[in-house]
Amino acid sequence: MATGTVDTTTVVRKALEGKRLNVGGLVFEWGMLLLLLSSLLVLVVLLGDIVSGAIPTFRARGFDFVTSGLSLNPETAGVSTAIVGSIAITAVVAVVAFPIGIGAAIYLEEYAPDNRWTRFVDTNIRNLAGVPSIVYGLLGLAIFVRLVDVVGLGGQTGGKNIFSAGLTLAVLVLPIIIITSAEAIRAVPNSIREAGVGVGATPWEVVRHHVLPSAAPGILTGTVLTLARAFGETAPLIVIGVATGFFGAAADATVLERATGPYTALPVVVFSWSRQSVGAFGDTLAPAAIVVLLFVLFVANAGAIILRNRYEKTW
């Protein structure tokens, strides 16, 4: 005679629910739901206000707003210069922060001994992830602006250019890259490492051929999200001398001259236009620039989610 198996989940759920009405649990559940709906309502109202302000600009100019450069005339001003600046800064961030961050995570998880010093370093990395971004701007102004000028990349701005901005934001997102990469590496089961060592692989071969490929989805997701964070930063750029007004490079300027000259970024343009005395900048152009910025960040976050869901491995 077959005996029925006991469903532990069902037993525990019935024990927790009981036969009596749990008033406290219901109040807590509805309270949390109310807080969630309130947060969503604030978000919807905010997005609605921004989109309604941006509609006149996109209706009148369409995609020309995205392809036009900076201008003192609100009828011709656009965000292409800011988009190029943001992309260039993000590229510097990726080149500098990714190798250092992923390398540091590999060392902390695979090679560093579990002692007091390693735990001290790990704790401070997590603390650095919570430092306000404007503090990194002061660091960039004191160190990276001078460093870029000393090595000969200061240009006509004295080091206040894309390179110093990229280095500053790279340091800002570096703790986040280390943390997310370390968590992804830590999630790889030890059995994979033991199997590699068991067939005679060296520690580096185990890391290179087994651990990193297994942790790659988590690492990639974290790095994409950190790039989105760097793309949307404003305060550090303002501190280290980003251009908040109109500027233009010479028509015959080389790539290096443009890179070492004045620059701006999309979040800075939003900040600058929202403070302009001309009403059109703050009323319609700033909301339109915010919509462009939100679209870029949405694409980056959607890409991270797609990569995670497609390549994520369950152990």
In a domain, 10, yes or no: no
Whole-number pLDDT of residue 260? 82
In a domain, 241, yes or no: yes
Whole-number pLDDT of residue 78? 87
Q: What is the mean pLDDT of the chain?
A: 85
Whole-number pLDDT of residue 3? 47
Backbone conformation region of residue 82, classed left if phi is above 0, alpha if psi is from -120 to 50, else beta? alpha
In a domain, 48, yes or no: no
Cβ count near 227 (within 10 Å): 23
Q: Is the pLDDT of residue 161 over 80?
A: yes
In a domain, 228, yes or no: yes
Whole-number pLDDT of residue 1? 45
In a domain, 248, yes or no: yes
In a domain, 169, yes or no: yes
**End-to-end Cα, the chain, rounded Å:** 36
Residue range 226-254: average pLDDT? 79
Residues 6+ apart with CB under 8 A from 245: 272
Q: What is the DSSP string of 35-81?
A: HHHHHHHHHHHHHHHHHHHHHHHHHHHTTHHHH----SSTTT--SHH
pLDDT in tens, 50-82: 999 899 888 888 888 888 888 888 888 888 888
- The SS3 assignment for 151 reads coil
Q: Is the pLDDT of residue 258 over 90?
A: no
In a domain, 121, yes or no: yes
Residue range 297-310: average pLDDT? 81
Q: Is the pLDDT of residue 2 over 60?
A: no
Closest to 162 in 3D by CA, of 79, 255, 273: 255
Whole-number pLDDT of residue 175? 94
Whole-number pLDDT of residue 180? 92
Q: Is the pLDDT of residue 157 over 50?
A: yes
pLDDT in tens, 263-272: 888 999 998 8
pLDDT in tens, 18-48: 556 677 778 888 999 999 999 999 999 999 9
Most confident option among 1-5, 16-20, 206-210: 206-210
Residues 253 and 279 sit within 8 Å (Cβ to Cβ): no
**Between 279 and 147, whose confidence is greater?**
147
Closest to 264 in 3D by CA, of 174, 162, 122, 192: 162
* Total domain count, the chain: 1
The DSSP 8-state label assigned to residue 202 in this structure reads -
CATH of the domain at 289: 1.10.3720.10
In a domain, 35, yes or no: no
Residue 135, classified by CB atoms within 10 Å of its CB into exposed (0-12), middle (13-18) or buried (19+), is middle
Domain containing 160: what range? 61-311
**Between 1 and 171, whose confidence is greater?**
171
Residue range 88-96: average pLDDT? 93
The DSSP 8-state label assigned to residue 113 in this structure reads -
